[in-house]
Structure 1
Amino acid sequence: MSKTLNSSLHDFKHRSPIQIRFNDIDQLSHVTNSVYQQYFDLGRLNYFTDVFEEQMDWESKGLILASITINYLKPIKMWDKIEVLSRIVEIGNKSLRMEQKIMNHSMNSIAAESQCVMVCYSNSLGETIKIPENWQKRIIAFENSVKLRVKI
């Protein structure tokens, strides 16, 4: 990996290897753009399971997408080796902001970038809730730097 590319990725401490499936491929012989969202979803789920050291109880509290943007930079082919890099960059009272990248190791390049805002939500209450303090502490302990918009 080039020094420039490597240095721009050092802040991403969480990595999720992704298996490309045959049905991910379109007529142009690359991963169809809607599948990139699924890869980012897998990266987010793995991130929270690993950092929180527990599986979310989606009924009582979980994180739902409020907004997401994806920039498609390079195509991904069937046999490429890829992984999703994820990090939290900002935490608020009820929401957080995450950045993600799909690293294509076969091409030594970033295939896509994503930014999303997630809101803490209780399905049983049917409303947004504060991000639990223990989640905030685990994210802060895991990440190198997080912008806080809330006191914990």
Structure 2
Amino acid sequence: MQKADPATLAQEFDFSIPIQIRFSDIDGYMHVNNGVYFSYFEHARAAFLNDFCDWNVMEVGTVVGRVEIDYFRPIHLEDQIQGLVKCTRLGNSSFDIEQYLIGTTKQGKSVTFSHCKCVMVSVDMKTMKPTSIPVAFREKLSLKD
């Protein structure tokens, strides 16, 4: 996968959120541990669904069906990062989310750190079985092209 230019990405995504790098995220190699990227992407997805789509997860929840991450560049403690999120496919009960971590290094260089693709499944909170994406949320997700 070819990493995209961060300035171009920022224009292609309607939703972004700053991500705080914690000292505890740093591993023995002095960069963010690869497993922590999952948490960063999860935080950005949750904010996207809550803040941008106004998704009420107490009515209809979402679970991860599949997630894949491409690592382009290590994130260090003093880097500044933001998570970009958009929906790229809508099915009946599932939808695809595309995400990037972009930002600036301590030296001020603009970079793309990582890319994530995630398949989300809407579930009935009482049965935890897949359910159709509610119309109100479908409309908000479909606006993201």
1:101 aligns with 2:97: no
Give runs of ≥4 in structure 1 deviating > 4 Å.
Answer: none
How many residues are matched? 138
Residue 64 of structure 1: aligned partner: 63
Query: Residue by residue, what CA displacement relative to the aligned partner does 1:25-67 show, whole Å, maximum 9, x if unpaired?
Result: 001110000000000000000001112235421xx31111000
1:125 aligns with 2:127: yes
Indicate how the Cα distance of structure 1 residues 128 and 54 shifts in structure 2: closer, same or farther if over 3 A, else same: closer
RMSD between superposed Cα atoms in Å = 1.4
- Any idea what SS the aligned residue of 1:128 has? coil
Give, in whole Å, the separation in 2 of the partners of 1:91 and 1:67. Answer: 15
Q: Percent identity?
A: 28
Offset of residue 13 of structure 1: 1.1
Residue 82 of structure 1: aligned partner: 81
1:15 aligns with 2:6: no
The amino acid of 1:26's aligned partner reads: D
- Structure 2, unmatched stretches of 5+, are none
- Any idea what SS the aligned residue of 1:137 has? helix
Offset of residue 6 of structure 1: 2.0
Asked if the contact 1:86/1:100 (under 8 Å) is kept, the reply is: yes
Asked if the contact 2:90/2:142 (under 8 Å) is kept, the reply is: no
Offset of residue 114 of structure 1: 0.4
Offset of residue 5 of structure 1: 4.0
Trace 1:41-52 onto structure 2 (pairs within 5 A).
41-52=42-53
Q: With the length of structure 1 as denominator, give the TM-score of the two structures.
A: 0.85
Q: With the length of structure 2 as denominator, give the TM-score of the two structures.
A: 0.89
- Any idea what SS the aligned residue of 1:37 has? helix
Asked if the contact 2:83/2:102 (under 8 Å) is kept, the reply is: yes
- Any idea what SS the aligned residue of 1:78 has? coil
